[in-house]
Amino acid sequence: MTNLQGYLEALRDGVIAPSAQQFQSLHEEVDRLVRLSQSLNTLAEDNGSNTAKTLETIDLVPIVRAAVELARPSFEGKAIRVQVVLPDRLAVRAGSDQLAQVLANLLQNASRYTPEGGLVTLAAEARRSDVLVSVTNSGQAIPQQDLPHVFERFYRVEKSRDRARGGAGIGLAIVKQLVEGIGGRVGAESDARGTRFWFSLPA
């Protein structure tokens, strides 16, 4: 939702020139958010037991590229460089709406905590039995004692810092819930070089 808002503000302020393709992309994003809200209601009601029924084999690559494009205004506003490392095609077993929201949340988190002029790298690769996707951002490291808790609901590493950035502490919790709901895993690593959030999905 935040990425959509940023994109609309960029159009309003003349930062991005409007085009029919962009309006179509925004319309598709609104439709996706409506579907996602219905999926989240289902997850809340049954703990994701019905999620497997919605899984299909999809190509991850266009979903990643669409998510990066939607997040682009928030990165450009801070002069953040974005590097995308993808193969031509990457098949996964997942739900496209859930996957798009996972990527949106991770990119929003990266935009929030990457300093001006920093670097964000989104990479995806096929492994023997799964697909690994990671979002890495330069900037201040997350303290090691906080890393095991970053996917917990309403957990914030530095509450005052997060309020200044508009964080509510639920974006990463939603990532965890959605990824695990489609049979995947999540994780995070952080050191002086930056922070890396990753998730894996069955191939």
Over residues 39-91, the pLDDT tens digits come to 566 456 545 555 555 689 999 999 999 999 989 988 998 999 999 999 999 99
Output 20 or 138, whichever has higher pLDDT: 138
Strand, helix or coil at 100?
A: helix
Output 30 or 200, whichever has higher pLDDT: 200
* Cα–Cα distance measured from residue 174 to residue 162, given in angstroms and rounded to the nearest whole number: 17
pLDDT at res. 52 = 56
Domain ranges of the chain: 2-202
Q: Are 144 and 106 in contact (CB under 8 A)?
A: no
Task: Work out the mean pLDDT of the chain and round it to a whole number.
Answer: 84
Amino acid at 31: D
- Per-residue pLDDT averaged across 164-192, rounded? 83
Name the token pair of 87: 């193969």
Q: Tell which CATH classification among 3.40.50.1010, 1.10.357.10, 3.30.565.10, 3.40.50.300 matches the domain 2-202.
A: 3.30.565.10
* Cα–Cα distance measured from residue 146 to residue 169, given in angstroms and rounded to the nearest whole number: 13
* Cα–Cα distance measured from residue 162 to residue 156, given in angstroms and rounded to the nearest whole number: 7
* Cα–Cα distance measured from residue 113 to residue 156, given in angstroms and rounded to the nearest whole number: 12
- Per-residue pLDDT averaged across 109-119, rounded? 95
- Per-residue pLDDT averaged across 124-146, rounded? 95
Instruction: State residue 105 phi and psi, 5-degree precision.
Output: -65, -40
